[in-house]
Amino acid sequence: MIRTIDGLRTRLAEVRDEDRPGGAARVALVSTLGALHDGHVDLIRAARERADVVVVSTFVNPLRFRTADETAANPRTPDADADLLDELGIDVVFAPAAADFLPAGTATTRVSAGDLGLRYEGRVRPFYFDGVLTVEAKLFHLIRPDLAVYGERDLQRAFLVRRMIRDLDFGIETVLVPTVRAEDGLPVSSRVGLLDEADRRAATKLTGALDAAASNADRGVDACIAAAQSSLMGESRITLEYLSVVDPETFLPVDDGHRGRAIALIAATVGGHRFIDNAEISLS
Protein backbone atom coordinates (compact mmCIF):
# COMPACT_ATOMS: atom_id res chain seq x y z
CA MET A 1 0.00 0.00 0.00
CA ILE A 2 1.97 2.97 -1.32
CA ARG A 3 0.96 6.44 -0.16
CA THR A 4 3.59 8.78 -1.67
CA ILE A 5 4.61 9.69 -5.20
CA ASP A 6 8.26 8.92 -4.45
CA GLY A 7 7.27 5.52 -3.08
CA LEU A 8 5.22 4.85 -6.20
CA ARG A 9 8.12 5.70 -8.50
CA THR A 10 10.49 3.50 -6.52
CA ARG A 11 8.13 0.52 -6.55
CA LEU A 12 7.36 0.88 -10.26
CA ALA A 13 11.07 0.97 -11.06
CA GLU A 14 11.50 -2.27 -9.09
CA VAL A 15 8.72 -4.17 -10.85
CA ARG A 16 9.78 -2.91 -14.27
CA ASP A 17 13.36 -4.07 -13.67
CA GLU A 18 12.37 -7.61 -12.70
CA ASP A 19 13.65 -10.26 -15.11
CA ARG A 20 10.89 -11.42 -17.46
CA PRO A 21 11.19 -13.92 -20.31
CA GLY A 22 9.26 -11.67 -22.68
CA GLY A 23 11.24 -8.52 -21.98
CA ALA A 24 9.86 -5.33 -20.44
CA ALA A 25 6.87 -5.69 -18.12
CA ARG A 26 3.47 -4.72 -19.49
CA VAL A 27 1.74 -2.46 -16.93
CA ALA A 28 -2.02 -2.02 -16.46
CA LEU A 29 -3.78 0.67 -14.41
CA VAL A 30 -7.16 0.32 -12.69
CA SER A 31 -8.08 3.67 -11.12
CA THR A 32 -10.78 3.60 -8.44
CA LEU A 33 -12.13 5.58 -5.49
CA GLY A 34 -11.71 2.58 -3.20
CA ALA A 35 -14.72 0.91 -1.50
CA LEU A 36 -14.05 -1.95 -3.89
CA HIS A 37 -16.84 -4.31 -5.03
CA ASP A 38 -17.40 -7.08 -7.57
CA GLY A 39 -17.36 -4.62 -10.45
CA HIS A 40 -13.85 -3.55 -9.52
CA VAL A 41 -12.79 -7.19 -9.19
CA ASP A 42 -13.82 -7.76 -12.81
CA LEU A 43 -11.74 -4.75 -13.89
CA ILE A 44 -8.73 -6.03 -11.98
CA ARG A 45 -9.06 -9.52 -13.42
CA ALA A 46 -9.28 -8.07 -16.93
CA ALA A 47 -6.11 -6.09 -16.21
CA ARG A 48 -4.35 -9.20 -14.89
CA GLU A 49 -5.21 -11.14 -18.06
CA ARG A 50 -3.58 -8.48 -20.23
CA ALA A 51 -0.55 -7.29 -18.23
CA ASP A 52 2.41 -8.47 -16.19
CA VAL A 53 2.02 -5.77 -13.54
CA VAL A 54 -1.30 -4.39 -12.25
CA VAL A 55 -1.45 -1.04 -10.48
CA VAL A 56 -4.66 -0.20 -8.61
CA SER A 57 -5.20 3.33 -7.33
CA THR A 58 -7.73 3.86 -4.52
CA PHE A 59 -7.67 7.66 -4.43
CA VAL A 60 -10.82 9.54 -3.41
CA ASN A 61 -10.44 12.38 -5.88
CA PRO A 62 -11.74 15.62 -4.30
CA LEU A 63 -11.91 17.31 -7.72
CA ARG A 64 -14.90 15.05 -8.56
CA PHE A 65 -17.00 16.51 -5.74
CA ARG A 66 -18.65 19.87 -5.04
CA THR A 67 -17.59 20.22 -1.41
CA ALA A 68 -15.27 18.76 1.19
CA ASP A 69 -18.35 17.26 2.90
CA GLU A 70 -19.28 15.38 -0.30
CA THR A 71 -15.71 14.10 -0.59
CA ALA A 72 -15.75 12.94 3.03
CA ALA A 73 -19.12 11.21 2.51
CA ASN A 74 -17.78 8.97 -0.25
CA PRO A 75 -17.72 5.36 1.06
CA ARG A 76 -14.31 4.22 2.34
CA THR A 77 -13.36 0.65 3.26
CA PRO A 78 -9.53 0.72 3.37
CA ASP A 79 -9.03 -2.44 5.41
CA ALA A 80 -11.41 -4.50 3.27
CA ASP A 81 -9.83 -3.03 0.13
CA ALA A 82 -6.35 -3.98 1.31
CA ASP A 83 -7.44 -7.56 2.08
CA LEU A 84 -9.14 -7.93 -1.30
CA LEU A 85 -6.21 -6.53 -3.28
CA ASP A 86 -3.82 -8.78 -1.39
CA GLU A 87 -6.02 -11.77 -2.18
CA LEU A 88 -6.03 -10.78 -5.87
CA GLY A 89 -2.23 -10.55 -5.88
CA ILE A 90 -2.02 -6.93 -6.97
CA ASP A 91 1.54 -5.74 -7.59
CA VAL A 92 1.12 -2.06 -6.67
CA VAL A 93 -1.62 -0.32 -4.69
CA PHE A 94 -1.46 3.48 -4.76
CA ALA A 95 -3.48 5.18 -2.01
CA PRO A 96 -2.15 8.73 -1.58
CA ALA A 97 -3.55 11.41 0.68
CA ALA A 98 -5.19 14.28 -1.20
CA ALA A 99 -2.81 16.80 0.36
CA ASP A 100 0.15 14.90 -1.10
CA PHE A 101 -1.30 14.01 -4.49
CA LEU A 102 -2.99 17.37 -5.14
CA PRO A 103 -0.98 19.80 -3.00
CA ALA A 104 -2.48 22.84 -4.71
CA GLY A 105 -6.02 21.71 -3.86
CA THR A 106 -8.77 23.13 -6.05
CA ALA A 107 -6.30 25.63 -7.58
CA THR A 108 -4.34 22.85 -9.27
CA THR A 109 -3.81 22.90 -13.05
CA ARG A 110 -6.78 21.23 -14.75
CA VAL A 111 -7.40 19.18 -17.86
CA SER A 112 -10.58 20.36 -19.58
CA ALA A 113 -13.14 17.87 -20.81
CA GLY A 114 -14.53 20.51 -23.20
CA ASP A 115 -18.18 20.86 -24.22
CA LEU A 116 -18.87 17.14 -23.94
CA GLY A 117 -17.82 17.29 -20.31
CA LEU A 118 -20.83 19.56 -19.68
CA ARG A 119 -23.38 17.09 -21.04
CA TYR A 120 -25.20 14.27 -19.21
CA GLU A 121 -23.18 13.71 -16.01
CA GLY A 122 -21.43 17.02 -16.65
CA ARG A 123 -24.72 18.91 -16.81
CA VAL A 124 -25.53 17.70 -13.30
CA ARG A 125 -21.95 18.16 -12.06
CA PRO A 126 -20.19 20.68 -14.36
CA PHE A 127 -16.88 20.35 -12.51
CA TYR A 128 -16.85 16.55 -12.52
CA PHE A 129 -15.10 15.49 -15.71
CA ASP A 130 -12.39 18.14 -15.51
CA GLY A 131 -11.58 16.66 -12.10
CA VAL A 132 -11.66 13.10 -13.42
CA LEU A 133 -9.39 13.84 -16.38
CA THR A 134 -6.95 15.91 -14.32
CA VAL A 135 -6.31 13.09 -11.87
CA GLU A 136 -6.32 10.42 -14.58
CA ALA A 137 -3.72 12.39 -16.56
CA LYS A 138 -1.55 12.68 -13.46
CA LEU A 139 -1.80 8.93 -12.84
CA PHE A 140 -0.86 8.27 -16.49
CA HIS A 141 2.16 10.58 -16.14
CA LEU A 142 3.38 8.91 -12.94
CA ILE A 143 2.63 5.27 -13.75
CA ARG A 144 3.15 5.25 -17.55
CA PRO A 145 0.81 2.27 -18.02
CA ASP A 146 0.56 0.34 -21.25
CA LEU A 147 -3.16 -0.06 -20.75
CA ALA A 148 -5.95 1.26 -18.53
CA VAL A 149 -9.14 -0.63 -17.69
CA TYR A 150 -12.61 0.90 -17.27
CA GLY A 151 -16.14 -0.33 -16.68
CA GLU A 152 -18.92 0.20 -19.19
CA ARG A 153 -21.20 1.57 -16.47
CA ASP A 154 -19.13 4.78 -16.44
CA LEU A 155 -19.25 5.01 -20.22
CA GLN A 156 -19.01 8.80 -20.52
CA ARG A 157 -15.92 8.78 -18.34
CA ALA A 158 -14.34 6.06 -20.47
CA PHE A 159 -15.17 7.95 -23.67
CA LEU A 160 -13.60 11.17 -22.38
CA VAL A 161 -10.49 9.39 -21.08
CA ARG A 162 -10.03 7.70 -24.46
CA ARG A 163 -10.34 11.06 -26.19
CA MET A 164 -7.80 12.61 -23.80
CA ILE A 165 -5.38 9.74 -24.48
CA ARG A 166 -5.73 10.37 -28.21
CA ASP A 167 -5.57 14.17 -28.02
CA LEU A 168 -2.57 14.28 -25.64
CA ASP A 169 -0.72 11.34 -27.24
CA PHE A 170 -0.45 9.24 -24.09
CA GLY A 171 -0.21 6.10 -26.21
CA ILE A 172 -2.21 4.00 -23.74
CA GLU A 173 -4.55 1.18 -24.73
CA THR A 174 -7.97 1.26 -23.06
CA VAL A 175 -10.03 -1.82 -22.20
CA LEU A 176 -13.79 -1.67 -21.49
CA VAL A 177 -15.26 -4.33 -19.21
CA PRO A 178 -19.02 -5.13 -19.22
CA THR A 179 -21.07 -3.93 -16.27
CA VAL A 180 -21.41 -6.38 -13.39
CA ARG A 181 -25.05 -6.66 -12.34
CA ALA A 182 -26.83 -8.02 -9.29
CA GLU A 183 -29.59 -10.60 -9.64
CA ASP A 184 -32.21 -7.83 -9.84
CA GLY A 185 -30.37 -6.22 -12.76
CA LEU A 186 -28.90 -3.24 -10.92
CA PRO A 187 -25.27 -2.41 -11.67
CA VAL A 188 -23.07 -3.36 -8.73
CA SER A 189 -21.84 -0.24 -6.93
CA SER A 190 -21.00 0.97 -3.43
CA ARG A 191 -24.29 2.91 -3.37
CA VAL A 192 -26.59 -0.05 -4.05
CA GLY A 193 -25.88 -1.45 -0.59
CA LEU A 194 -27.05 1.81 0.99
CA LEU A 195 -30.62 1.48 -0.32
CA ASP A 196 -33.46 0.16 1.79
CA GLU A 197 -35.68 -2.57 0.34
CA ALA A 198 -38.32 -0.22 -1.10
CA ASP A 199 -35.76 2.10 -2.70
CA ARG A 200 -33.93 -0.85 -4.19
CA ARG A 201 -37.12 -2.14 -5.79
CA ALA A 202 -37.70 1.33 -7.20
CA ALA A 203 -34.14 1.54 -8.52
CA THR A 204 -34.64 -1.60 -10.61
CA LYS A 205 -37.08 0.43 -12.72
CA LEU A 206 -34.07 2.29 -14.12
CA THR A 207 -32.90 -0.96 -15.65
CA GLY A 208 -36.47 -1.52 -16.81
CA ALA A 209 -36.42 1.86 -18.54
CA LEU A 210 -33.34 0.85 -20.51
CA ASP A 211 -35.02 -2.43 -21.44
CA ALA A 212 -38.05 -0.46 -22.65
CA ALA A 213 -35.79 1.77 -24.73
CA ALA A 214 -34.14 -1.25 -26.34
CA SER A 215 -37.50 -2.93 -27.03
CA ASN A 216 -38.77 0.14 -28.88
CA ALA A 217 -35.58 1.00 -30.75
CA ASP A 218 -37.04 -0.30 -34.02
CA ARG A 219 -39.56 2.55 -33.89
CA GLY A 220 -36.95 5.32 -33.82
CA VAL A 221 -35.28 7.43 -31.17
CA ASP A 222 -38.36 9.42 -30.09
CA ALA A 223 -40.39 6.28 -29.45
CA CYS A 224 -37.41 4.74 -27.70
CA ILE A 225 -37.12 7.63 -25.22
CA ALA A 226 -40.89 7.88 -24.75
CA ALA A 227 -41.11 4.19 -23.84
CA ALA A 228 -38.32 4.54 -21.29
CA GLN A 229 -39.95 7.60 -19.72
CA SER A 230 -43.35 5.90 -19.62
CA SER A 231 -41.91 2.94 -17.71
CA LEU A 232 -40.87 5.31 -14.89
CA MET A 233 -44.18 7.12 -14.55
CA GLY A 234 -45.78 6.92 -11.13
CA GLU A 235 -42.58 5.94 -9.31
CA SER A 236 -42.28 8.70 -6.70
CA ARG A 237 -39.02 7.36 -5.28
CA ILE A 238 -37.15 8.09 -8.53
CA THR A 239 -36.03 11.59 -9.55
CA LEU A 240 -34.91 11.35 -13.16
CA GLU A 241 -31.91 13.54 -14.01
CA TYR A 242 -31.39 12.67 -17.66
CA LEU A 243 -32.37 10.12 -20.27
CA SER A 244 -30.57 10.36 -23.60
CA VAL A 245 -29.69 8.27 -26.63
CA VAL A 246 -26.22 8.97 -28.02
CA ASP A 247 -23.97 8.02 -30.91
CA PRO A 248 -21.17 5.81 -29.51
CA GLU A 249 -18.67 7.39 -31.92
CA THR A 250 -19.27 10.99 -30.79
CA PHE A 251 -21.27 10.65 -27.56
CA LEU A 252 -23.62 13.32 -28.91
CA PRO A 253 -27.41 12.86 -29.02
CA VAL A 254 -28.56 11.01 -32.10
CA ASP A 255 -31.01 12.63 -34.53
CA ASP A 256 -34.17 11.14 -35.99
CA GLY A 257 -32.25 9.81 -38.98
CA HIS A 258 -29.73 7.78 -36.96
CA ARG A 259 -29.74 4.08 -37.73
CA GLY A 260 -27.72 1.31 -36.18
CA ARG A 261 -25.81 1.16 -32.92
CA ALA A 262 -26.59 3.72 -30.21
CA ILE A 263 -26.29 3.99 -26.42
CA ALA A 264 -29.18 4.79 -24.07
CA LEU A 265 -27.98 6.68 -20.97
CA ILE A 266 -29.93 7.18 -17.77
CA ALA A 267 -29.24 8.85 -14.41
CA ALA A 268 -31.53 9.31 -11.45
CA THR A 269 -31.63 9.81 -7.70
CA VAL A 270 -33.21 7.08 -5.59
CA GLY A 271 -33.33 7.25 -1.81
CA GLY A 272 -30.91 10.17 -1.81
CA HIS A 273 -28.31 8.28 -3.88
CA ARG A 274 -27.39 8.86 -7.53
CA PHE A 275 -27.31 6.01 -10.01
CA ILE A 276 -26.17 5.89 -13.62
CA ASP A 277 -26.61 3.13 -16.16
CA ASN A 278 -26.59 2.57 -19.90
CA ALA A 279 -27.44 0.00 -22.52
CA GLU A 280 -26.54 -0.54 -26.14
CA ILE A 281 -29.52 -0.40 -28.49
CA SER A 282 -30.01 -0.73 -32.23
CA LEU A 283 -32.09 1.96 -33.92
CA SER A 284 -33.84 1.04 -37.15
- DSSP structural state of residue 102: S
> Is 20 annotated as belonging to a binding site?
no
Q: Which of 40, 141, 258, 273 is catalytic?
A: 40
> Is 151 flagged in the annotation as binding?
yes
Question: In this structure, are residues 40 and 80 in contact, taking their beta carbons and an 8 Å threshold?
Answer: no
Has 40 been annotated as catalytic?
A: yes
Measured distance CA(202)–CA(71) in Å, rounded: 26
Nearest alpha carbon to residue 220 among 262, 179, 192:
262
152 appears as a binding residue in the annotation = yes
Q: Residue 188, annotated ligand binder?
A: yes
180 marked among binding-site residues:
yes
Closest CA to 88 of 125, 55, 58: 55
Give, to the nearest 10 degrees, the angle between helix 197-215 and helix 221-232: 160
The secondary structure of 143-174 as a DSSP string is H--SEEEEEGGGHHHHHHHHHHHHHTT---EE
Full strand arrangement of the beta sheet holding 27-32: 92-94, 53-58, 27-32, 147-151, 173-177
Q: Return the SS3 of 259.
A: coil
Q: Is 79 annotated as a binding residue?
A: no
176: left (phi over 0), alpha (psi -120 to 50) or beta: beta
Of the candidates 185, 160, 183, the residue with the CA atom closest to the CA atom of residue 277: 185
Cβ distance 254 to 262 under 8 Å?
yes
The DSSP H or E segment spanning 273 is strand 273-283
Instruction: Give the separation between CA 244 and CA 124, rounded to whole angstroms.
Output: 14
Q: Which residues are catalytic?
A: 40
User: Which amino acids are annotated as binding site for ATP, given as ranges?
Assistant: 151-154, 180, 188-191
User: Which amino acids are annotated as binding site, given as ranges?
Assistant: 151-154, 180, 188-191
